[in-house]
């Protein structure tokens, strides 16, 4: 894959240790599972990548926006202490439960990637849906991926 594709960045940009999760449903035209793995999807141009992962660590279900906001600020501080830049976190509503959406920049091999990562509570266990693209990628997949993470992924 070329340096502009986000696959390598997404593999190393993750902040936590990962374990397999159930299959992610990506409702965007032209996206296909990577190597038949329904937890990892790439757009037809190879410019954007989505990955769903279930972590073995506990993660609370936030009942209020204030609870989610407090956690988002802690997460922003933790992410900022790592090899990522321009960290922004925010609570997002998912059918009456609150989750956290984080976005940040990550550099690998001289290429800067924009990462959007949704933190969800799946029966009290952390599950993330992460999107990645090169920083100045102009493909239509970038906005579609970010909108999916912001509004639809759950």
**What pLDDT digit, counting tens, does each position of 44-94 carry?**
999 999 999 999 999 999 999 999 999 999 999 999 998 899 999 999 998
Q: What is the 3-state secondary structure (H, E, C) of 44-66?
A: CCCCEEEEEEEEEEECCCECCHH
Mean pLDDT of 20-29: 68
Q: Pick from 25, 2, 5: which is nearest to 135 by CA?
A: 5
- Domain extents in the chain: 7-152
The yes/no answer on whether domain 7-152 falls in CATH 3.40.1000.10 is yes
């Amino acid at each position: 894959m070329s340096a502009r594709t986000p696959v390598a960045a997404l593999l190393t940009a993750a902040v936590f240790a990962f374990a397999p999760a159930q299959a992610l449903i990506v409702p965007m035209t032209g996206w296909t599972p990577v190597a038949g793995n329904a937890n990892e999807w790439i757009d037809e141009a190879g410019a954007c990548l989505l990955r769903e992962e279930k972590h073995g660590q506990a993660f609370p279900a936030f009942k209020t926006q204030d609870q989610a906001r407090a956690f988002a600020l802690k997460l922003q501080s933790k992410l900022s202490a790592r090899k990522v830049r321009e960290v922004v976190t925010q609570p997002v509503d998912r059918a009456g439960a609150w989750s956290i959406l984080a976005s940040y920049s990550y550099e690998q091999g001289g290429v800067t990637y924009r990462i959007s990562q949704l933190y969800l509570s799946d029966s009290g266990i952390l599950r993330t849906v992460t999107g990645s693209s090169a920083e100045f990628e102009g493909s239509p997949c970038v906005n579609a991926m970010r909108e999916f993470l912001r509004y639809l992924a759950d």
